[in-house]
Amino acid sequence: MDETLDSLGNKGNKSATTRVRNRGGRPAKKIKKAIGIRVRVTATERFLVETKARKANMRISDWFRAAALKATVIARLTAEERQYHHVLAGLANNLNQLTKLAHAKGLMSIVLKCDALLTEIDKILKRLTSDDREDT
């Protein structure tokens, strides 16, 4: 009979099936997180993120991942609002030129009306471009 020693030193038959050895260690994860994203933050922002992660009893990376997945992003300006902004900016420029011309010619009644309109247009532009819109 053809008896040989296997890798463990046991006598066995060549034709017998070999045993699968347990390699040990942690089992492989089903979903690997292999792609990293770097985010630059200030020292203050890092402190705030670390504090929030610590309060949630999470690692910073887990906290960032959870925060990013839960966040809803709202466009700062819609396409229509951007168009309004563009038109208003053009009107403000034209009105400013008329105001300068009225100042140069000495037409005070027109100057006062133009200043009032410029102030109103500036308020609208600031409201359209303000950062106090809904949080993201």
pLDDT in tens, 53-77: 999 999 999 999 999 899 887 777 7
Contact assessment for residue 115 and residue 123, using Cβ atoms and an 8 Å cutoff: no
Taking the alpha carbons at both ends of the chain, their separation in whole angstroms is 77
Report pTM. 0.41
Strand partners, 11: 5
Per-residue pLDDT of 76-101, as tens digits, reads 777 888 888 888 888 888 878 887 88
Q: How far apart are CA 114 and CA 96, in angstroms?
A: 8
112: which 2 tokens?
């006062």
